[in-house]
Structure 1
Amino acid sequence: MFEPDGFLFALRLAGDQWRVIGNGAEPLAALRRTSKVGNVSWQSQFHIGHRVAAKAGVERVALGGDAAHIHSPIGARGMNLGIEDAYVYAECAADALAGKPERLRDYAVLRHAVHKDVVRRIGLITRLVHGRPPWLRWVRDEMVPVAGHLAFAQALMLRTVGGIDHPLETHR
């Protein structure tokens, strides 16, 4: 649900147990307007950062997953991107062990470009969902519902949150 000061996302885990994520001032108060809220077993606050390491690798040291990139949890992109990192690193490391040491540099170049691009896009989507600054809230509230009915916009959203918005390259 889009709220004036952010968003509210509810995911049913099992039975009557839900995970609620919101970025407004009082997410549970917003939820109580439309739903019955039972006992809260755990709650916390966190800050969403969007960052990419300066390099994905130097010589024999490679970074992957959250060590290389961190961003909002939209679409589980961090997990999927980390799995991609491991796959590409395995390909490059196998080639390096087979006598092609330059393949470790390939990993750093290939993945750093992907990290920057994905984190940039997820940052844009996060700002849109948050509705900040206020003009972006208008886009979120007025334009996104219309765009959500357009085939090209649906395909773009699915590719983005599904992690298939970029090629999986193991060679440059």
Structure 2
Amino acid sequence: MLPTHTDVLVVGAGPTGLATALTLARRGGEVIVVDQLGSPPVTSRAAVVHAYTLEVLDRIGAAAPLIGQGVRAPRFTVRDRDRVLLSVPFHQLPSRFPYALMVSQSVTEAVLTERLADLGVRVRRPCRLSDLSRTADGVLAQVDGAGVRARFVVGADGLHSTVRQLAGIGFTGPSDEESFVLADVRVRSALPRDEAALFLARSGPLIWAPLPDGVVRLVAAVPAAPAEPDLAYLQALLDERGPARRPDRVTEVLWGSRFRVHHRIADTFRAGPVLLAGDAGHVHSPAGGQGMNLGICDAVALGTALADVLGGGPETLLDDYTARQRPMAEDVLSFAAGLTRLATLSPARRPFRDVLLRLLGALPPARRQIALRLSGLSHRERTPG
């Protein structure tokens, strides 16, 4: 049975909701986490945790146990079939985590859930939020027909956020959407197993990301993704977009799925005592692996601000949160859209694109700036602590 009162009700138990709750719990805040799913998903889109996100996770005691379960990738490459157009070095990043950590989102969620459990907080599921109403001292939430009074409510419930809709916050962006196929596979491949790659193809981008135990995560933009991509479909994708001289051979499909993405952002991340984080506030293409990373950064920034307010600080700290994180989300949306446009340029413009990327790759300052941008470290100055 749910408690009837709490400091903060977090709706959604993905990485964003879990990281928000963990940040609060470590500061002594009373927090309830609910999720409408009966059990955590074992499949997920995100497969990379960038350097800045690891720094953020380290603040809440979650980086070390996660690093032990992932693959460290010291570089990221942009390719056109067999040609490496750009190699982005992560090993020289100004961070204690000079790499991208390749690890499934389900593992990230498991680590955060375990850290929360150590503090006596468990995710309550399945629990469905049906209504929010303002009160004199916060919010009355209806969860599975029972009332829960909270000083603040955090919407970390994804693209179709019930919290965002109940709070009346707009979610704007282009009406068109992108269709993606994703799968975890085993492949015979000559590509390095410590390097993520983005293949730019006229038909759309293909992300090739190595995971532990010899698994490779494939994510590709396609016109109409099948519900369950099979080996033949995924092999055709690699034949069309991946290496040509020494082509990959898919030997096993562990799981496959599809998803659709709009490029959208919430009009605000705060409506009084209701706050948004992660996909509830911003969604975009997975190109560059920025989505979950930005959500975790939202989470720790918001959890810190809420803990400060609960400790007696001014509520203007919550306005500071939205003023800081929303521009970061706008920047990430623009960056992800730009990567997709690079992949889908017309044949006549692709030679110019390739020359430009190779020129950038030959300039150390340019390579460094791209590495800072991909790793999230370019946003470091925007987040205190």
Tell me the equivalent position of 1:66: 279
Instruction: Judge conservation of contact 2:234–2:250 (CA < 8 Å) in 1.
Output: no
- What is the CA distance between 1:59 and its match in structure 2? 1.1
- The change in CA–CA distance for 1:114 and 1:8 in structure 2 (over 3 A counts) is closer
- Secondary structure of the residue aligned to 2:370 is helix
Aligned length: 170
Of 92, 110, 130, which aligns to 2:324? 110
Of 221, 237, 254, which aligns to 1:23? 221
Q: Which has the higher helix share?
A: 1
Percent same amino acid at aligned positions? 31
Instruction: Judge conservation of contact 2:204–2:340 (CA < 8 Å) in 1.
Output: no
- What is the CA distance between 1:36 and its match in structure 2? 2.1
Of 181, 185, 201, which aligns to 1:3? 201
TM-score, length basis structure 1: 0.80
Tell me the equivalent position of 2:333: 119
Instruction: Judge conservation of contact 1:74–1:161 (CA < 8 Å) in 2.
Output: no
Instruction: Judge conservation of contact 1:58–1:105 (CA < 8 Å) in 2.
Output: no
Q: Provide structure 2 residue ranges, at least 5 long, that are not aligned to the other structure.
A: 1-198, 224-232
Tell me the equivalent position of 2:295: 82
The higher radius of gyration belongs to: 2
Q: Which has the higher strand share?
A: 2
Q: Which moved more, 1:15-24 or 1:144-153?
A: 15-24
Distance 1:15 1:169 in 2: 34
CA deviations 1:20-40 (Å, max 9, x no partner) are: 222357663252451222233
CA deviations 1:81-133 (Å, max 9, x no partner) are: 112212221232233221412222222222212211222222212321x2235
Instruction: Judge conservation of contact 1:71–1:122 (CA < 8 Å) in 2.
Output: yes
- Which one-letter code corresponds to 1:89 in the other structure? L
Q: Provide structure 1 residue ranges, at least 5 long, that are not aligned to the other structure.
A: none
Distance 1:136 1:121 in 2: 19
Distance 1:108 1:162 in 2: 22
TM-score, length basis structure 2: 0.39
Tell me the equivalent position of 1:145: 358
- Which one-letter code corresponds to 2:250 in the other structure? V
Tell me the equivalent position of 1:43: 256
Instruction: Judge conservation of contact 2:206–2:218 (CA < 8 Å) in 1.
Output: yes
